[in-house]
Structure 1
Amino acid sequence: MVLRSHPLVSGSTRPPALWRWTRTIVFVLCLPALLAACSRPGVDPMYPPVAAHVPGATSHTILIATTRKRSADPGAMFGGERGAGLDFAQAVVSVPPAHVSGSIEWPSQRPGNPGTDFVTKESTYLDSEKAFVAALNQQLEQRPPGHRTVLLFVHGFNTMFPEGLYRLAQVAQDAGSPAVPVYFSWASRGELSGYVYDLNSATIARDQLERLIMLIAKSKADTFNVLAHSMGNWVTVEAFRNIAMTKELHGYNHKLGIVALASPDIDVDVFRSQMARIGRPRKPFAIILSRDDRALALSRFIAGDKARLGDYKNAADLTQYNAIVIDLSDVKGENALNHDKFAEIASVAPQLRQVLAQGVRTDGTTPLEQTANAPLGATSGVVRTVLSLPVAAVTAPIVILSNATQ
């Protein structure tokens, strides 16, 4: 019996048509079950606003810049359709006293209960770019000089407006971040079937994100950090590509802090071409990836089995672009898709910021103690550091890959 003649064990690397179709059917049938395990709001948590204050609850004032069209329901603020240009707003989100790190406690009915749920206390439109900058500077001036920092968050695919807003509040809360939170929301319909619509919306939004980045750079901020998730990384890296081409950030580069690309839904070859235009960043980009990201497995499937940056198997290769790779593959995710690990470990952000700010030294050590470190090949110059953090939120070591020349 010659097994080699069977198409599944032949020397060909291309799976036969029957196997490809079987894999497609299994993937499509299993996906709803995976998505069912991921929480999202059952009601619109933006409306009605909840003014009541509960002892122990924490409020976060979030500035908003969006390419979404305003909703016909004033309480909802913005829907999933594309607007004309950039619109601005502000919202105050309350986090409940018993909040569990890494989670968003969605209200199950209107109005939400500030004692147990994330709720919106107030929301207002800002009528101009000038009003947005004034509101941003007002918040920055409430911080002491030297500590006037902005955290800019860009959401990903299949995200409704309040989902990204509450995710930013959750990350800010869990990280204990004193930064002014700014939410850039592009026009996603929040539908799994809307992948192409979302991708086109993200592409349309890149010039407006570039504009927002420059507004922040020219504000009274001492530093601004950027956190992008999933498809939001396409918008973000494209915006920085535009900025590199126009040299707009010249004179403000010293203000740019950490650019964290979490679960990036970008074709690896596209990322290489983007970085060829951007050049060597003044500070390394931080690429947060996980090889068990099932959402990116779907994206990879749609893209003709082309590798995505956020689940790239040869992560060490990415360090040649002056990137620090934070590999969360060994960290257990809280939902079946493993696509939101960046938010689930937000409580360790101060320790990770320390590592990213001070770097990984050529001997593999970091500002924090690690369990092991080793070079990945004598000629590659890539150092692998296994970082163990004494916090319950991290169930396994975090692997950090960096280039010894950084």
Structure 2
Amino acid sequence: MPTKNPTAPVGRRRAPGLVILTLVIAALAGCASRPSGTLQPVAPEPSVASTVDMLVATSRQADPAPGVLFNGERGRGLSLADITVSIPNQRAVGTVNWPRSVPGNPARDFVVTSVDPLPAKAIGSWFGALKGKPRPVLIFVHGFNTPFDASVFRFAQIMHDSGEKAAPVLFSWPSRGRLLDYAYDRESANFSRSDLAFVIRAAARSPAVSEVTVMAHSMGGWLAVEALRQIALEDGRIPSKVDNLILASPDLDVDVFRRQVEEMGKDRPHMTIFVSANDRALRASRLIAGGVTRVGAIDLTREPYLSAFEKATGVTVIDLTLLNNGDRLNHSKFATSPEIVQLLGGRIAAGQLISDADAPGAKLGTSAQEAGQAIGSVAGVVLSAPVLVFESRR
């Protein structure tokens, strides 16, 4: 990845203050109506809701308040819990229906129906209890400004809406869930690196696990890449079962990312990266980070990134810039766009999101419209906006 960043056209520039103000307003609007204690278990109602049962591994501090479980401070060790989330049947794909008050109503709200704490040493037993033949595992790492309950509900939404059948594991690190705590969250991601590496190793070592996909959003991308890099440096290689890394809108310095990938070694997992050149959250992150472009906001239709990608191996980049039905900040389209989250279904853990066989027209240099049509025909869905796919092979 190059060090220099292309200069944005004058008409597309945003004043730093305006970007930050936009983010603040959006964050306040999104969080103002959320009550506290939303993870207090309620009785399940199978007739009106579906459930997602997940293992949660967290480096957060435990919180005794009812329905909170873990807060944004840093814990003294890894904590585990088996959590079941109830998702209402009457709901738009890509959305999380927050309770208006506690306890929530399973007919209309995301709620929790069970929370079973587990000792950290029991992680191998959880994987070993997976039923049937060895199963794939999906480990999800959330991003910046994410309270614990939001990480639980968002991952449940992704698993449910995608129809993904991999065993779900959430890794939730100590984010305070406050926009102005960017530096604290960044250090908390560093703080959690060894804990995530422990979870990845535990999954890869289990005979009940066939393969492991790590999927990370935003600042969680930094944590995921660092954990895999640490495993490679300490063990000499990344386990072969860890065969796919998905980075959604990664908040990663392009120069640092290049070095991290090099230090993973040649046997690194295949990488799928979702990018959007109009990601407003990553614009703000770029300002904070000294003006260096973030990986999740690169414009792959322009130099120097186009040439750099042509030299890459084992990477698929899905450009969602022109997709308009995601979130307001264009930062979570992979989860909030109905077409994209459904396209993920059944392909995440298999590492088969897009392939030459699936989308013969969606290759480097193909027009966005043609790529969008190719993906749509393969997935059996109609994309509401073009999606551009860049693909390279080992």
Superposition TM-score tier, normalisation by shorter sequence: 0.7 to 0.9
Deviation at 1:237, TM superposition (A): 0.3
Per the alignment, in what secondary structure is the counterpart of residue 92 of structure 1?
strand
Contact 1:47 1:76 in 2 (8 A): yes
State the match for 2:387 in structure 1.
Answer: 398
Distance 1:291 1:282 in 2: 26
Contact 2:40 2:66 in 1 (8 A): no
Q: What does residue range 140-159 of structure 1 map to in structure 2 within 5 Å?
A: 140=130, 142=131, 144-146=132-134, 148-159=135-146
State the match for 2:4 in structure 1.
Answer: none
Per the alignment, in what secondary structure is the counterpart of residue 110 of structure 1?
coil
1:67-93 Cα deviation digits (max 9, x unpaired): 100003143110000001211112110
Contact 1:355 1:368 in 2 (8 A): no
Deviation at 1:376, TM superposition (A): 3.9
Distance 1:125 1:213 in 2: 19
Alignment CA distance shift 1:287-1:58 (3 Å): same
Between stretches 336-345 and 153-162, larger displacement belongs to: 336-345
Deviation at 1:353, TM superposition (A): 4.5
User: Which structure has more RCO (C-alpha within 8 Å, separation ≥ 6)?
Assistant: 2
Amino acid at match of 1:24: P
Work out whether 1:103 is the aligned partner of 2:95: yes
State the match for 1:7 in structure 2.
Answer: none
1:132-171 Cα deviation digits (max 9, x unpaired): 3212321x1x2x315x111100000000001111111101
Q: 2:115 aligns with which of 123, 131, 134?
A: 123
Per the alignment, in what secondary structure is the counterpart of residue 112 of structure 1?
coil
State the match for 1:346 in structure 2.
Answer: 341
Deviation at 1:248, TM superposition (A): 5.9
Alignment CA distance shift 1:31-1:100 (3 Å): same
Q: 1:368 aligns with which of 355, 358, 379?
A: 358
Q: Percent identity?
A: 35
Q: 1:214 aligns with which of 201, 209, 229?
A: 201
Query: What is the aligned residue count?
Result: 369
Distance 1:122 1:369 in 2: 41
Distance 2:33 2:171 in 1: 20
Q: What does residue range 10-89 of structure 1 map to in structure 2 within 5 Å?
A: 23-36=15-28, 38=30, 42-44=34-36, 46-89=38-81
Distance 2:292 2:298 in 1: 10
Distance 2:216 2:199 in 1: 14
State the match for 2:220 in structure 1.
Answer: 232
Per the alignment, in what secondary structure is the counterpart of residue 75 of structure 1?
coil
State the match for 1:173 in structure 2.
Answer: 160
Amino acid at match of 1:341: K
Distance 2:288 2:259 in 1: 21
Per the alignment, in what secondary structure is the counterpart of residue 104 of structure 1?
coil
Unaligned runs of 5+ in 2: 1-6
Question: What's the C-alpha RMSD, in Å, of the aligned pairs?
Answer: 2.7
State the match for 2:3 in structure 1.
Answer: none
Per the alignment, in what secondary structure is the counterpart of residue 389 of structure 1?
helix
Distance 1:268 1:389 in 2: 30
Q: 1:223 aligns with which of 194, 211, 223?
A: 211
Deviation at 1:367, TM superposition (A): 2.7
TM-score normalised over the length of structure 2: 0.86
Alignment CA distance shift 1:318-1:233 (3 Å): farther
Per the alignment, in what secondary structure is the counterpart of residue 34 of structure 1?
helix
Amino acid at match of 2:376: L
Work out whether 1:194 is the aligned partner of 2:184: no
TM-score normalised over the length of structure 1: 0.83
1:355-379 Cα deviation digits (max 9, x unpaired): 953864xxxxx33356x456549xx
Deviation at 1:196, TM superposition (A): 0.2
Amino acid at match of 1:135: W
Alignment CA distance shift 1:205-1:353 (3 Å): closer
